[in-house]
Amino acid sequence: MQTPYFLIDKEQIEKNLKLLRHVMDDTGCKILLAQKCFSCYALYPLIGQYLSGATASGLFEARLCHEEMQGSENHIFSPFFREDQIDEICQICDHIVFNTPAQLERFGSKAKDAGLQIGLRINPECSTQEGHAIYDPCAPGSRLGTRLGDFENAIRCNPSLLSLIDGLHFHTLCEQDSDDLKTTLDVVVAKFGKYLTSMKWINFGGGHHITREGYNIDLLEHCIIRMRDDYHLQVYLEPGEAVALNAGELHATVQEIQPQDEHGICNIILDTSAACHMPDVIEMPYTPPLQHAKPFLSDDYNGLNDKRNVYRLGGPTCLSGDIIGLYEFDHPLQEGEELVFEDMAIYSMVKTNTFNGMPLPDIYVKESPSNTTLWKSFGYEDFKHRL
Ligand SMILES: *Cc1c(COP(=O)(O)O)cnc(C)c1O
């Protein structure tokens, strides 16, 4: 197996799916895979066995679900639907969620006539996350979701809009626990509760870190049961991360160890790249877990001495900032050594690119501890065809 490559752990995915299924069985909710996080469709048949279906961010993901997770519910949300795609979307999707009353006005009747369930994404204007404004759809000025004031203006102008809507959708969380869901749900009920009584379903979106150790599943189930019992709603959840959490590795090889810099730290050139293979490391930003090492905080420079195996891991691209991070290893690194980055199934393969002509990592699936199969192999043609 030549590095760099992704290794997807099917048994861990199944473990995650069993936990999600447990929540479905306890509460009667339906859980969908958010494909934008993890689209490794080799596993779609397995995912379809446990979950109710998938949700898409656009036509292409919806097609992928239609082709690879057959017989499952196919949902779609997009801030904007294209006139030239709406017919195909109506043919293959079961639920369509509009971002604004204007989109609902434009396409709602057509989708309803085609037999789809119609949703409207709301913005409850309730921020529960600090730090990452780019992951907060409730941040000031957000274009995602309809605020209560805009919703009420729209139905005042066109009361028939309300009768088109089968359900409300909110998505406001990112890697969060159920206490933040509860906070959000309280606001959704306070603001939109009077409309929920005429709805069939509510979709809690994604960002629920359900399969993370320590996540409060009881409170999640309480939130679901509340909407089920108080409003007689079918509850949907559409997590991405929770489906494939801790279920993938990215393997890379130490190509060169450079001399110490002014802080006494050696730069390591790897055959993988933050910019090309794990762009969230730079965008989010975060330092991915790495076997036999722990992230090293740069304000610890003073404590550095030759006994500490601290390295700065970087990619082979032209970008100065193509840095995965500073790590302290439990041993000195050697050229040719293989490194294993963890939790690399989510938001990684879906985001890779070939900047600098970097090859894309191959993708292997570990079916069981003794059986690993090559699923995808990439080469020069993949680079050339995209240009
Ligand atoms: C991103 C997103 C999800 C999935 O989010 P995760 O953080 O991966 O669980 C679900 N629904 C919508 C609308 C999204 O934008």
| pLDDT one-digit tens code per residue, 348-358 | 999 999 999 99
For a ligand 1 pocket test, name from 20, 31, 39, 55 the mutation site with the most ligand atoms within 8 angstroms of its C-beta. Answer: 55
Name the residue among 240, 317, 245 with its Cα closest to residue 279.
317
Cβ of 361 closer than 6 Å to ligand 1, yes or no, is no
Structure tokens at 33: 């895979």
Structure tokens at 381: 């043609």
Cβ of 32 closer than 6 Å to ligand 1, yes or no, is no
pLDDT (tens digit per residue) in 319-335: 999 999 999 999 999 99
Protein residue with its CA nearest to atom 8 in ligand 1? 240
Cβ of 34 closer than 6 Å to ligand 1, yes or no, is yes
CA of 335 to the centre of ligand 1 (A): 39
Query: What phi and psi, each to the nearest 5 degrees, are found at residue 194?
Result: -70, -20
Amino acid at site 253? T
Contact 50, 58 (CB under 8 A): no
Residue 149: band (very low, low, confident or very high) from pLDDT cuts 50, 70, 90: very high
Our separate counts of H helices and E strands in the chain read: 13, 17
Structure tokens at 148: 């209560």
Residue 297: band (very low, low, confident or very high) from pLDDT cuts 50, 70, 90: confident
Q: Which atom of ligand 1 is nearest to the CA of 36?
A: 1
Protein residue with its CA nearest to atom 5 in ligand 1? 206
Average pLDDT for residues 81-99, to the nearest whole number?
98
Is residue 260 helix, strand or coil?
strand
Structure tokens at 231: 């409003």
Residue that is written with structure tokens 């009420």 in the block = 152
Alpha helices by DSSP H, listed for 232-357, are 241-244, 274-277, 280-283
Residue 181 backbone class (left: φ over 0; alpha: ψ -120 to 50; beta: rest)? alpha
Structure tokens at 327: 């790590």
pLDDT reading at 305 higher than 90: no
Protein residue with its CA nearest to atom 14 in ligand 1? 206
pLDDT of residue 112: 98
Average pLDDT for residues 196-208, to the nearest whole number?
97
Q: What is the dihedral of CA 35, 212, 46, 372, to 10 degrees?
A: 100
pLDDT reading at 103 higher than 70: yes
Q: Which atom of ligand 1 is nearest to the CA of 77?
A: 13
What's the maximum distance between 2 C-alpha atoms anywhere in the chain? 73
Q: Which atom of ligand 1 is nearest to the CA of 37?
A: 8
Structure tokens at 149: 């004031």
Euclidean distance between CA atoms 189 and 377, whole angstroms:
48
Structure tokens at 214: 């320590």
Angle at 81 between CA 76 and CA 84, to 5 degrees: 115
Chain centroid to CA 76: 15
* Mean pLDDT value across the chain: 96
pLDDT reading at 299 higher than 80: no
pLDDT (tens digit per residue) in 233-292: 999 999 999 999 999 999 999 999 999 998 889 999 999 999 999 999 999 889 999 999
pLDDT reading at 104 higher than 70: yes
Query: How far is the first Cα of the chain from the last one, in angstroms, to the nearest whole number?
Result: 27
pLDDT of residue 133: 78
pTM over 0.85: yes
Euclidean distance between CA atoms 129 and 207, whole angstroms:
11
Structure tokens at 331: 């041993």
Q: Spell out the residues 6+ positions from residue 362 whose beta carbon is closer than 8 angstroms to its own.
A: 1, 2, 4, 5, 6, 374, 376, 377, 378
Residue 300: band (very low, low, confident or very high) from pLDDT cuts 50, 70, 90: low
**What is the DSSP annotation of 178-205?**
HHHHHHHHHHHHHHHHHHHTT-SEEE--
pLDDT of residue 154: 98
CA of 370 to the centre of ligand 1 (A): 33
pLDDT (tens digit per residue) in 210-239: 999 999 999 999 999 999 999 999 999 999
